[in-house]
Amino acid sequence: MFSYIPNELFISKTDIQYPPFKNGKYMEEYFLNYVRTKEISQDKQGRKYIPALWTNFQTAQWFPNAREEMQRTLDKWINDNPSTPGYYIVVQHDDGPMLRLPTNTKIYGACRGNIPLPLIYEDVENKLENIEKKTFKNKNILCSFVGSITHGVRKNIIDMYENNPRFKFVSRNGWTNNVQKEDQTTFIDYTVNSKFALAPRGYGRSSFRFFEIFKLGTIPIYVWDDKNWLPYSEIIDYDSFCITLHISEIDILEEICLGINEKKYEKMLLKYQEIKHMFEMEYMCEYICGKPTINRVHAPVITNEYVKSKILLVTIAIGDKYLHQYNTIFRKNHEMYAKKHDYDFKVITDFLDKSLCHADAITFNKILVCSQSWSNDYEFIIVIDADILINMNSPAIHTSMDFETKIGIVNEYSQPTNEMRIEIQRMMGWEPDAKGYYKLAQLDIDTKMVFNTGVMVFQPKIHRGFLDKIYNKYARNSINHPRRYHYEQSCIGYELQVHQKYKIMDNKWNTIWPLYKMMGSQLEFIFRENHFIHFTGHIDIENGIKIEKEING
């Protein structure tokens, strides 16, 4: 049953009118009205709603003086309204809730919390959507930004591109909720005349601008730093209709924009039209409460009927020598595993990027397997190196864990154990730690993990854009790079960690035999106890073939 907190301060109104195009309710107000009208008190996990208009009262001048009293009132309400599954709130405020909540509270937040929501507001007159749009050819600005410099991300972008004639900036230091008519007109004019418009995070992780830009018929560029806060990422493939970049990638922003031609641009806008209802208030409420109309999502319809996934196992074997070696030693083994689990099987024998046919760039072709004409036929694509033997007792890799929207990969620095690996590094005179490994490729990251790209689990519909960005950023640098294949592995591992796009798989899925050999393990034992055994450097491969035949038959 719906229950208010017995203090009207929790549902205070506000005189603040920001953004200036708001004409109706803020998201917290809309949601409170939604659950009150429909008498809904729980989210889809059964948590109880804490009814509060956080942004309204947290931005009020009186809030600091009322804070302790409100905390006591909230604590008593929690005590009087117990909820075993926990509680939830909906909050727009950049800093999230400023009162203490029970530890089992889930925060649906526009800028902070546990579950990202779209940073939107109600406009009953649809002012931005009713503005006349321009076609791709009639947009004379490549990329623009009109707004305040409220975060280092925005400043870094402006510093890099302010002297570039393809980019237009109108900015000011500091933020105000009183946006003058002249500034509103400038934002609209610049955005309508731009092919792309920047929507970098501000003080909060999100930006109203991201959703406003779409309404003006332009493609937004979301730039983030600590966390990507775009909503519904478990459902939406953002790379199909906008540009998302980590701040470390802004040096390739112009290249990405110029690489999108008119045909692709129009396709992206059409894709937005398919999912734009997801950035509206009603859908947001349905998403939280789990009402039936959530099925409007343009994603595979879930039914009670079992639908078999289509999976591809693929390897790269480019060059006559390597192809002969692969066909002689490894191919039959890979084909058997694919057949056992009803996977399609493919061997890539030529460069997927015909403009970069250099031996040093061969391994980078792994991350192009999601951008081929056949890629979207598959739910999962498993890339496996051409020097791996598979134990046929292994289960299907694509159901071995919940990959969510991440890329499955193994942390080789935990092999055989974390402690043993550091000892191996010391014994061999290699780099002392994971951070040192990436520094050898001129990549600076504070980490204890090194990802081995010998086995990766991709979801092409989700990961294509991300992997293409990595390829475009690094592949050509691989030519004559002293780190050779370690360079490809370093670049992919670095980007996965920076963007938090990884899901760590069990070491059984990419067991690097030479590391275990150094610590005295027996190959037969390792083969029997693991799934994919990686013979890097082809060390003991003859013995491995014999054991594989004994175990697999």
Output the domain CATH number for residue 409: 3.90.550.10
Greater confidence (136 vs 178) lies with 136
Each residue's pLDDT tens digit, 321-330: 889 999 999 9
Look up the domain containing 512 and give its range: 311-552
Last residue of a domain, one of 238, 261, 279: 279
- For residue 486, being part of any structural domain is answered with yes
pLDDT at 308 over 50: no
- According to the model, what pLDDT value does residue 176 have? 66
Amino acid at 545: I
The pLDDT mean for the chain works out to: 91
Q: Are residues 367 and 510 in the same domain?
A: yes
Report the distance separating Cα 73 and Cα 79, nearest Å: 10
Does the global pTM surpass 0.75? no
φ, ψ of residue 82 to 5 degrees: the values are -65, 145
Each residue's pLDDT tens digit, 254-289: 988 998 999 999 999 999 998 999 999 999 999 998
% the chain with pLDDT above 70: 96
- For residue 132, being part of any structural domain is answered with no
Q: Are residues 524 and 408 in the same domain?
A: yes
Q: Are residues 206 and 112 in the same domain?
A: no
Q: Are residues 274 and 316 in the same domain?
A: no
Last residue of a domain, one of 264, 279, 294: 279
Q: Is the peptide bond before 395 cis (omega within 30 degrees of 0)?
A: no
Q: Are residues 260 and 158 in the same domain?
A: yes
Q: Which range, of 299-308, 432-441, 462-471, averages the lowest pLDDT? A: 299-308
C-alpha 202: how far from its chain's center? Answer: 19
Q: Are residues 469 and 532 in the same domain?
A: yes
421 with 514: CB under 8 angstroms?
Answer: no
- For residue 131, being part of any structural domain is answered with no
Number of domains in the chain: 3
484 with 380: CB under 8 angstroms?
Answer: no
Q: Are residues 351 and 456 in the same domain?
A: yes
pLDDT at 303 over 90: no
> If pLDDT is split at 50, 70 and 90, which confidence band does 301 have?
very low
- For residue 287, being part of any structural domain is answered with no
- For residue 306, being part of any structural domain is answered with no
Last residue of a domain, one of 261, 279, 297: 279
Q: Which of 333, 551, 514 is nearest to 427 (CA)?
A: 514
Q: Are residues 373 and 496 in the same domain?
A: yes
Q: Please state, as a whole number, how many other Cβ atoms lie within 10 Å of the Cβ of residue 213.
A: 26
- For residue 398, being part of any structural domain is answered with yes
Each residue's pLDDT tens digit, 55-104: 999 999 999 999 999 999 999 999 999 999 999 999 999 999 999 999 99
Question: DSSP letters along 362-406, please?
Answer: GGGGGGGTTSSTTGGG-SEEEEE-TTEEE-TT---GGGSS--TTS
311 with 398: CB under 8 angstroms?
Answer: yes
Quick one: average pLDDT of 313-321?
93
67 with 61: CB under 8 angstroms?
Answer: no
Q: Which of 282, 269, 281, 277 is nearest to 297 (CA)?
A: 277
- For residue 157, being part of any structural domain is answered with yes
Q: Are residues 333 and 216 in the same domain?
A: no
- For residue 507, being part of any structural domain is answered with yes
Give how far Cα 63 sits from Cα of 19, 50, 99, Å: 22, 18, 11
> If pLDDT is split at 50, 70 and 90, which confidence band does 300 have?
very low
Q: Are residues 477 and 388 in the same domain?
A: yes
Q: Are residues 72 and 195 in the same domain?
A: no
Q: Are residues 513 and 420 in the same domain?
A: yes
